[in-house]
Structure 1
Amino acid sequence: MHLHLLQHSPHQGPARLADWLSSMGHSHTVFHLDAGETPPRLTDCDALVVLDGPVGPLDDTAQPWLKRERKLIARALDSHKPLLGIGFGARLIAEELGAVVSRGTQAETGWHRVVLAPESPLDLPEQFNAFMWHREVFALPEDALPLGSSEASPLQGFSWDARRVVGLLCHLEATRESVEALLANEPLLDGSERSPHIQSSEAMFADPQRFIHLAPLLDRLLSQWLRSPAG
């Protein structure tokens, strides 16, 4: 399979997701619509991934490239091809599906426990630790099923159209290197000083095994997503 990836920041790339694609024999191309690149054609790929990116409101006026990206996501939703959104990408997909996207009550960064929703169609552990970096959240789109929740965020993701479309607030693709790049180049999220769900950089790297444990979770999720009945 060949996948198109939409990236919005040099410091928020596909990380372990790219390694997984290569290990499974899939190819991928990365596009940067925010840098003025022309949107890719869906006919040239088997699946689309929309990566994390800017924080704050989804403002088409301040970010004119967003209109082109929204159109591409809308076409992907109308197609039969798998669509995955992470962080910012999940927000765009949720909004395109009619869900409310807004600022969360508190910022959430570092490692937090996700409790799988009983109705989630994704075969994942009932509880697992995932990396977080967000302030914005989204409501559950109509006809979608919830992934699960964390203490700070009641909805950590969703699936739609028999798992063909998946949106993740949490980051299963994170690696030590990707988190180091994030911390070195991105400002702290607004409200971090007041949130009890913010971890220090020391705490984020205290247990290297956490990054290793993400690998099988990412494998399970991506394998199910690409094998979705509607895909």
Structure 2
Amino acid sequence: MKTLRIHYLQHVPFEGLGCIADWASVKGHSLSATKFYENTNLPKLADFDWLIVMGGPMGVYDEMKFDWLPAEKEFIRDAIQAGKTVIGICLGAQLIASSLGAKVYPNAEKEIGWYPVFSTEYGMNKNLLSGNLDPFPVFHWHGDTFDLPSGALRLASSEACLNQAFIYNHKVIGLQFHFEVTENSLHQMITFCGEELVIDRYVQSAETILGYVQFINEVNNRMFYLLDFMEGGKDV
């Protein structure tokens, strides 16, 4: 298998690659990063094979607060047009959707905690999410959602949010939820964004969130499955 050069975009210190870094290490793939909270230097398209876009508490429309957002969206769009494999998680999925011309906006409900997602018929047929147990609980932390980009196919939904996962042009994946989450990253998100944990229909308390750490191994395995699938270059 070819050694991949994976570049990732990180927006805040407490939302890093999580278990994706473990996968890349085991596979022998190289990692490089643009950490926007430190610098805004972006690589040339020729310098990487995959682009992974991580989460963060900001919105794709917060360009007045984060002046690097327009350049980031243009970079994502250029990577997609260049035929790179692009994977977005939470904010990353929203940035991909926005880069493809879809609208991103506040969801009717915030969704924070462990809630099930349901594979669509297409998602189950392709088994992209390793959905042999469906529905399955995943970790969410988002207040925004997005319209499905033109040409994209929906892979999963939840009760609170229609567009939970999509694939575009065989090589671009958007996940609204966090397959990559680790116990450490759970604690980090609660520490830095805990003021959002106002218990509601789809918002759990910190205690409840941390009480379901047994799900982490399962969602990490699903992340590994998806990465293996994309690494294999299979037709999706």
Indicate the TM-score class for this superposition, using the shorter chain for normalisation: over 0.9
**How far 1:10 moved relative to its partner?**
0.4
Instruction: State the secondary structure of the residue aligned to 2:204.
Output: coil
Aligned to 2:26: 23
What's the CA shift for 1:227? 2.7
Sequence identity of aligned pairs in percent?
32
Q: Is the 8 A contact 1:156 1:169 kept in 2?
A: yes
For residues 142-153 of structure 1, the aligned pairs below 5 Å read 142-153=150-161
Residue number in structure 2 paired with 1:137 = 145
Cα distance in 2 for residues equivalent to 1:103 and 1:58 = 11
Pair 1:215–1:123, CA change in 2 (3 A): closer
Please give the residue correspondences for 1:84-103 in structure 2 after superposition, counting only pairs within 5 Å.
84-103=87-106
Which residue is equivalent to 1:208? 213
Q: Do the aligned partners of residues 123 and 12 (structure 1) sit closer, same or farther apart at CA in structure 2, a change above 3 Å counting? A: closer
> Does the CA contact (< 8 Å) of 2:53 and 2:92 recur in 1?
yes
* Unaligned stretches of 5+ residues in structure 1: none
Residues 145 and 160, structure 1, Cα contact 8 Å, conserved in 2: yes
Query: 1-side partners of 2:60 and 2:39: how far apart?
Result: 20
The separation in 2 between residues aligned to 1:209 and 1:60, in whole angstroms, is 37
Q: What are the Cα deviations for residues 88-133 of structure 1, in whole angstroms up to 9, with x where unaligned?
A: 1111110111111100011111101011011224252132211000
Q: Number of residue pairs matched?
A: 228
| Other-structure match for 1:182 | 189
Q: Find the residue that maps to 1:6 and give its secondary structure.
A: strand
Match of 1:167 among 167, 170, 174: 174
- 1:223 and 2:228 correspond: yes
1:47 correspondence with 2:50: yes
- In the alignment, which of 77, 80, 83 is matched to residue 77 of structure 1? 80
TM-score calculated relative to the size of structure 2: 0.90
Q: Which residue of 2 aligns with 1:196?
A: 201
Q: TM-score, normalised by structure 1?
A: 0.92
Task: Tell me, in whole angstroms, the C-alpha distance in 2 between the residues paired with 1:40 and 1:17.
Answer: 20
Distance 1:53 1:29 in 2: 18
Determine the structure 2 residue equivalent to 1:117. 120
Q: 1:31: Cα distance to partner?
A: 1.2
- Long gaps (5+) in structure 2: none
Matched AA of 1:196: R
Contact 1:36 1:65 in 2 (8 A): no
Counterpart secondary structure, 1:193: coil
Greater displacement, 54-63 / 108-117: 54-63
Aligned position for 2:162: 154
Secondary structure (helix, strand or coil) at the match of 1:151 reads coil
- 8 Å CA contact 1:166, 1:225 repeated in 2: no
Comparing 4-13 with 55-64, greater Cα deviation is found at 55-64
Distance 1:141 1:73 in 2: 14
Following superposition, the deviation at residue 34 of structure 1 comes to 4.3
Contact conserved, 1:116 with 1:124, CA < 8 A, in 2?
A: no
How large is the RMSD of aligned CA atoms in angstroms?
A: 1.8
Amino acid at match of 2:40: E
